[in-house]
Amino acid sequence: MATTEQPARHVGARVPRKEDPAMVTGQARYTDDLTVPGMLWVAFVRSPFAHATIKGIDTSAAKAADGVVDVFTGADLADDFAAPIVCAWPIVDDIKIPEHWPLTKDKARYAGDKVAMVVADTRAGAKDAAELVEVDYDPLPAVTDIELALADGAPILHDDLGTNLSMTWRHSEHSPVPARGKPEDVFPAADVVIKEKYRIQRAVPNAIEPRSIIVEPSPAQGEFTMWSATQIPHIVRTVLTLMTGVPEAKLRVIAPAVGGGFGSKLQVYGEEALLLVGSRKLGRALKWTEERQEAFVATTHGRDVVQEVELAADRDGTLRGVKVRIVCSMGAYMQLLTPGIPLLGAWLYGGAYESDAYDLEINGVFTNTTPTDAYRGAGRPEATYCIERAMDALARELDMDPAELRRKNFVPADAFPNHTIVSGLIVDSGDYHASLDRLLEALDYEGLRAEQKARRERGDNRLLGIGLSTYLEMCGLAPSRVAGAIKLVCGLWEAAQVRVMPTGTVQVMVGVTATGQGHATTFSQLVADQLGVEIDDVEIIAGDTKQMALGMDTYGSRSLAVGGIALHLAGEKVVAKARAIAANALECAEDDLEYDTGTFTVKGTDKTMHVKEAAFAAWTAHALPDGMEPGLEATHVYDPPNFSWPAGAHGCVVSVDTETGEVDIERYVAVDDCGVVVNPAVVEGQVQGGVAQGIAEALYEEAVYDEEGNLSNGSMTSYLVPTAAEIPPIETHHTVTPSPTNPLGVKGIGEAGTIASPPAVINAVIDALSGLGVTDVQRPATPQNVWRAIEEARQ
Partner 1 sequence: MIPAPFEYEVAESVDHAVELLTTREDAKLLAGGHSLIPLLKVRLARPGTLVDIGRVSGMVGVLDAGEHLVVGAMTTLSDLVADASVSVGCPLLATTAAQVGDPQVRHRGTIGGSLAHGDPASDLPTTLLALDAELVVRGSGGERTIAAADFFVGFFETALGPDEILTEIRVPKTGAAGTAYLKFHHRAIDWATVGVAVVVESQNGSISSARVALTNMGPAPVRASAVEAALAGADRGAVARAAEAADRGTDPPSDLQAGADYRRHIAKVLTRRALTQALS
What is the nearest approach in angstroms of partner 1 to the Cβ of residue 720? 6
Q: Quickly list DSSP for 531-575.
A: HT--GGGEEEE-SBTTT------S-TT-IIIIIIHHHHHHHHHHH
Cβ nearer to partner 1, comparing 592 with 726: 726
- Give the one residue of 725, 729, 794, 795 binding partner 1; rule: CB under 8 A: 725
Q: Which is nearer to partner 1, 3 or 713 (CB)?
A: 713
User: From residue 393, how far is each of 384, 400, 463, 770, 775 by CA, in Å?
Assistant: 14, 10, 19, 11, 8
- CB nearer to partner 1: give 123 or 170: 123
Asked if 726 touches partner 1 (CB under 8 A), the answer is: yes
Write the DSSP string, 213-246: EEEEEETTTTEEEEEE--S-HHHHHHHHHHHH--
What are the Cα distances from residue 185, in Å, to 13, 164, 179, 314, 318? 51, 33, 12, 14, 16
Q: Using CB under 8 A, pick the residue from 349, 385, 700, 705 that binds partner 1.
A: 700
Per CB under 8 A, 14 contacts partner 1: no
| d(C-alpha 156, C-alpha 149), whole Å | 8
Q: What's the min distance (Å) between Cβ of 299 and partner 1?
A: 15
Decide whether 733 or 788 has the Cβ nearer to partner 1.
Answer: 788
Select from 220-228, 256-264, 563-571, 714-722 the region that touches partner 1 (CB under 8 A): 714-722
ω into 478 cis (within 30 of 0): yes
Q: Which is nearer to partner 1, 442 or 704 (CB)?
A: 704
Member of 29, 195, 197, 292 binding partner 1 (CB under 8 A) = 292
Note the helical H segments in 594-647: 611-620
- Reduce the DSSP state of residue 322 to 3 states and report it: strand
Q: How far is the CB of 25 from partner 1 (least distance, A)?
A: 20
Find the part of the chain contacting partner 1 (CB under 8 A) among 56-64, 96-104, 290-298, 319-327.
290-298
Strands 286-289 and 212-218: antiparallel
In whole angstroms, how close is the CB of 459 to partner 1 at the nearest point? Answer: 16
Q: What's the rounded Cα separation, in Å, for the pair 742 and 430?
A: 14
CA–chain centroid gap for 281, Å, is 34
Which of 480, 599, 601, 713: binder of partner 1 (CB under 8 A)?
713
3 state DSSP class of 391: helix
Which range in 406-414, 542-550, 623-631, 707-715 contacts partner 1 by CB under 8 A? 707-715
**3-class secondary-structure state, position 36:** coil
Confirm or reject binding of residue 127 to partner 1 (CB under 8 A). yes
With binding defined as CB under 8 A, does residue 33 bind partner 1? no
Q: How far apart are CA 514 and CA 444, in angstroms?
A: 38
Q: With respect to partner 1, which residue has the nearer C-beta, 78 or 124?
A: 124
Single out the residue of 9, 63, 105, 123 in contact with partner 1 (rule: CB under 8 A). Answer: 123
Least distance to partner 1, CB of residue 122, Å: 10
Closest CB to partner 1 among 680 and 783? 783
Output the smallest distance, CB 48 to partner 1, in A: 13
Question: CA nearest 382: which of 425, 340, 319?
Answer: 340
Based on CB atoms, which residue is closest to partner 1, 572 or 726? 726
> Is residue 16 within 8 Å of 681, Cβ to Cβ?
yes
The one-character DSSP state at 416 is: -
Asked if residue 783 binds partner 1 (CB under 8 A), the reply is: yes
674 vs 730, beta carbon nearer partner 1: 730
Q: In which element (H, E) is residue 196 found?
A: strand 192-203
What distance lies between CA 784 and its chain's CA centroid?
30
What are the phi and psi torsion angles at 592 (to 5°)? Answer: -80, -5
CB atoms within 10 A of CB 536: 10
- Kindly give the pairing relationship between strand 40-46 and strand 286-289: parallel
Establish if 778 lies at the interface with partner 1 (CB under 8 A): no
> Smallest gap, in angstroms, from Cβ of residue 556 to partner 1?
30
CB of 204 to partner 1, least distance (A): 14
Nearest to 509 by CA among 490, 496, 493, 520: 496
Residue 462 as a binder of partner 1 (CB under 8 A): the answer is no
Are 391 and 312 contacting, i.e. CB atoms less than 8 angstroms apart? no
Q: What's the 3-state SS for 734-747?
A: ECCCCCCCCCCCEC
Residue with smaller CB distance to partner 1, 468 or 692: 692
Residues between 635 and 674 that touch partner 1 (CB under 8 A): 659-660
Range in contact with partner 1 (rule: CB under 8 A) among 135-143, 156-164, 419-427, 722-730:
722-730
Report which of 441, 397, 369, 346 is spatially closest to residue 643, judged by C-alpha positions.
346
Full DSSP string of 95-130: -------SS-SSEE-STT-EEEEEEESSHHHHHHHH
Shortest distance, position 659 Cβ to partner 1, whole Å: 5
Closer to partner 1 by Cβ: residue 201 or 480: 201
- Single out the residue of 20, 291, 314, 792 in contact with partner 1 (rule: CB under 8 A): 291
Q: Which of 370, 172, 132, 191 is nearest to 267 (CA)?
A: 370
Q: How far is the CB of 291 from partner 1 (least distance, A)?
A: 4
Interface residue with partner 1, options 163, 599, 601, 712 (CB under 8 A):
712
Q: How far is the CB of 719 from partner 1 (least distance, A)?
A: 9
By CB under 8 A, tell whether 718 contacts partner 1.
Answer: yes
Choices 409-417, 473-481, 623-631, 783-791; region in contact with partner 1 by CB under 8 A: 783-791
- 81 or 787: CB nearest partner 1: 787
H helix or E strand, kind and range, residue 519:
helix 519-531
Buried/exposed 456-483: b ≥16 CB within 10 Å, e otherwise: eeeeeeebbbbbbbbbbbbbbbbbbebb
Please, which residue, 50 or 194, has the CB nearer to partner 1? 50
Q: Report the relative pairing of strands 223-228 and 212-218 from DSSP bridges.
A: antiparallel
Complex with partner 1: residue 123 or 182, whichever CB lies closer:
123
Which of 152, 723, 729, 795 touches partner 1 (CB under 8 A)?
Answer: 723
Q: Which residues between 182 and 221 bind partner 1 (CB under 8 A)?
A: none
Residue 788 CB, shortest distance to partner 1, in Å, is: 8
The answer for residues whose C-beta is within 8 angstroms of residue 415's C-beta and 6 or more apart is: none
3-class SS of residue 387: helix
Binding mask 48-77 for partner 1 (x = CB under 8 A): ------------------------------
C-beta closer to partner 1: residue 623 or 725: 725
Answer whether 469's CB lies under 8 Å from 386's CB.
no
Q: Given the complex with partner 1, which of 605 and 784 has the nearer CB atom?
A: 784
- Using CA atoms, how far apart are residues 345 and 520, in angstroms rounded to an integer? 29
**CA 11 vs CA 21, 525, 527, 529, 733: distances in Å:** 21, 6, 9, 7, 18
For the bound state, the minimum distance from the C-beta of residue 32 to partner 1, rounded and expressed in Å, comes to: 11
Choosing from 521, 644, 742, 782, the residue that interacts with partner 1 (CB under 8 A) is 782
Q: Does 792 interact with partner 1 (rule: CB under 8 A)?
A: no
Taking the least distance from each CB to partner 1, the nearer of 717 and 795 is 717
Binding residue for partner 1, selected from 124, 151, 454, 628, defined by CB under 8 A: 124
The yes or no reply on residue 293 touching partner 1 (CB under 8 A) is yes
**Interaction site with partner 1 (CB under 8 A):** 123-124, 127-128, 291-293, 659-660, 700, 704, 712-713, 715, 717-718, 720, 722-723, 725-726, 782-784, 787-788
